[in-house]
Amino acid sequence: MRYTVRVKPGSSKGPLVESSADGLTVYVRERAVDGAANQGVVRALAAHFGVAPRDVAIISGHGSRVKRVEVDE
Protein backbone atom coordinates (compact mmCIF):
# COMPACT_ATOMS: atom_id res chain seq x y z
CA MET A 1 0.00 0.00 0.00
CA ARG A 2 1.10 3.55 -0.66
CA TYR A 3 0.41 6.38 1.77
CA THR A 4 0.90 10.13 1.88
CA VAL A 5 2.65 11.00 5.12
CA ARG A 6 3.17 14.38 6.80
CA VAL A 7 6.19 14.31 9.10
CA LYS A 8 6.68 16.37 12.26
CA PRO A 9 10.40 16.01 13.12
CA GLY A 10 11.75 16.93 16.54
CA SER A 11 8.38 16.36 18.21
CA SER A 12 8.11 15.52 21.89
CA LYS A 13 4.95 13.50 21.05
CA GLY A 14 6.89 10.99 18.98
CA PRO A 15 7.11 8.33 17.95
CA LEU A 16 3.41 8.50 17.09
CA VAL A 17 1.31 7.88 13.96
CA GLU A 18 -2.08 9.61 13.62
CA SER A 19 -4.63 9.12 10.85
CA SER A 20 -6.43 12.06 9.27
CA ALA A 21 -8.48 12.81 6.16
CA ASP A 22 -5.30 13.92 4.34
CA GLY A 23 -3.37 10.75 5.16
CA LEU A 24 -1.06 9.93 8.02
CA THR A 25 0.83 12.29 10.32
CA VAL A 26 4.01 10.85 11.83
CA TYR A 27 5.59 12.52 14.86
CA VAL A 28 9.24 11.57 15.41
CA ARG A 29 11.74 12.74 18.02
CA GLU A 30 14.66 12.78 15.56
CA ARG A 31 15.60 16.06 13.93
CA ALA A 32 15.77 16.41 10.14
CA VAL A 33 19.56 16.11 10.07
CA ASP A 34 21.48 13.55 7.97
CA GLY A 35 18.34 11.47 7.32
CA ALA A 36 17.68 10.78 11.00
CA ALA A 37 14.02 11.86 10.74
CA ASN A 38 13.51 9.59 7.70
CA GLN A 39 14.85 6.63 9.66
CA GLY A 40 12.52 7.53 12.52
CA VAL A 41 9.57 7.67 10.11
CA VAL A 42 10.39 4.21 8.76
CA ARG A 43 10.64 2.75 12.29
CA ALA A 44 7.41 4.44 13.45
CA LEU A 45 5.42 3.29 10.41
CA ALA A 46 6.80 -0.25 10.72
CA ALA A 47 5.65 -0.39 14.36
CA HIS A 48 2.26 1.11 13.44
CA PHE A 49 1.57 -1.44 10.70
CA GLY A 50 3.22 -4.36 12.50
CA VAL A 51 5.83 -5.05 9.82
CA ALA A 52 9.62 -5.06 9.74
CA PRO A 53 11.35 -1.73 8.96
CA ARG A 54 12.71 -3.28 5.73
CA ASP A 55 9.08 -3.50 4.51
CA VAL A 56 8.65 0.29 4.64
CA ALA A 57 10.17 2.42 1.88
CA ILE A 58 10.12 6.17 1.29
CA ILE A 59 9.31 6.58 -2.41
CA SER A 60 9.47 10.37 -2.69
CA GLY A 61 9.95 13.40 -0.48
CA HIS A 62 13.21 12.43 1.21
CA GLY A 63 13.98 16.10 1.89
CA SER A 64 10.40 17.20 2.46
CA ARG A 65 7.92 17.00 5.33
CA VAL A 66 5.35 15.47 2.97
CA LYS A 67 6.41 12.03 1.81
CA ARG A 68 5.04 9.13 -0.21
CA VAL A 69 5.76 5.81 1.45
CA GLU A 70 5.12 2.21 0.45
CA VAL A 71 4.37 -0.44 3.04
CA ASP A 72 4.57 -4.14 2.11
CA GLU A 73 1.99 -5.83 4.31
Q: What is the pLDDT of residue 42?
A: 96
Q: What is the pLDDT of residue 23?
A: 85
Q: For residues 16 and 54, what is the distance between their CA atoms, to the nearest angstrom?
A: 19
**Spans of the chain, pLDDT less than 70:** none
pLDDT digits (tens, 9 = 90+) for 44-55: 999 999 999 999
Q: What is the pLDDT of residue 21?
A: 82
Go through the domains of the chain in sequence order and give each one's CATH number: 2-71 (3.30.1200.10)
Instruction: Give long-range contacts, CB 8 A cutoff, 24+ apart: 8-16.
Output: 8/65, 9/37, 9/40, 9/65, 10/37, 14/40, 14/44, 15/40, 15/43, 15/44, 15/47, 16/44
Q: What is the pLDDT of residue 73?
A: 81
